[in-house]
């Protein structure tokens, strides 16, 4: 099980230090939530912050774009140092084209699915995907409670993905209890914010999630 601490719950006044700390604590990915105040009701960071954080870690920068329209921003995030760029299926009319655009910059491509979005929307783009992100909360804010409906969606995705090299990632309300349930359902990567940053012992918090 890979753990991807979400910087949404980190101390924004010292993001570089926070990235180095979770890297040393055993994070597999560094999850960066990008919100535009339009697709979701919150506003966070842009490509310049990703660029500023890139020198602080060699770990995978897992960039989750909660923005609409998304295509005009992909190039800037790719050039800023993102390793995985995940877009919402709900934020683009031409999902196949958007995934091709991500791949054109040599980046891994992911699709995020909101709680009310069925997993079947990715059926015809599976061969363009490296990651599927299941939202287990409604996107836009950290600290929300886990929505159990995500467990069944992960199980169905596991069957849909089959033997393809596509990781199933889950974001929202992840804590040790839900982590165990998600592992059983077939998740590969867990995004966690509050569960990791709520206390200073990041290594212990990551270990608890594993």
Neighbour count for residue 124 (Cβ, 10 Å): 10
Residues forming the active site: 33, 171
Taking the C-alpha atoms of residue 171 and residue 4, their distance in angstroms, rounded to an integer, is: 9
Q: What H or E segment, with its residue span, contains residue 22?
A: helix 15-24
Q: Which of 127, 60, 136, 73 is nearest to 100 (CA)?
A: 127
Taking the C-alpha atoms of residue 171 and residue 5, their distance in angstroms, rounded to an integer, is: 10
> Burial, 163: exposed, middle or buried (Cβ in 10 Å; 0-12, 13-18, 19+)?
exposed
Token pair, residue 191, equals 């995004």
């Amino acid at each position: 099980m890979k753990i991807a601490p979400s910087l949404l719950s980190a101390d924004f006044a010292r993001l570089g230090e926070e990235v180095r700390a979770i890297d040393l604590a055993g994070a597999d990915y560094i999850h960066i939530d990008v919100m535009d105040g339009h697709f979701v009701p919150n506003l966070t960071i842009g490509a310049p912050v990703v660029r500023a954080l890139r020198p602080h870690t060699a770990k995978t920068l897992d960039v989750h774009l909660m923005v609409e329209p998304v295509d005009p921003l992909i190039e800037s995030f790719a050039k800023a140092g993102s390793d995985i760029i995940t877009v919402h299926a709900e934020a683009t009319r031409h999902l196949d084209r958007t995934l091709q655009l991500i791949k054109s910059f040599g980046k891994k491509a992911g699709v995020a699915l909101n709680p009310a979005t069925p997993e079947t929307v990715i059926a015809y783009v599976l061969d363009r995907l490296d990651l599927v992100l299941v939202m287990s909360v409604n996107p836009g804010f950290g600290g929300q409670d886990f929505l159990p409906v995500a467990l069944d969606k992960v199980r169905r995705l596991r069957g849909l993905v089959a033997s393809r090299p596509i990781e199933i990632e889950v974001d929202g309300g992840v804590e040790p209890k839900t982590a165990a349930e998600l592992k059983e359902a077939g998740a590969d990567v867990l995004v966690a914010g509050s569960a990791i940053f709520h206390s200073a012992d990041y290594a212990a918090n990551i270990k608890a999630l594993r």
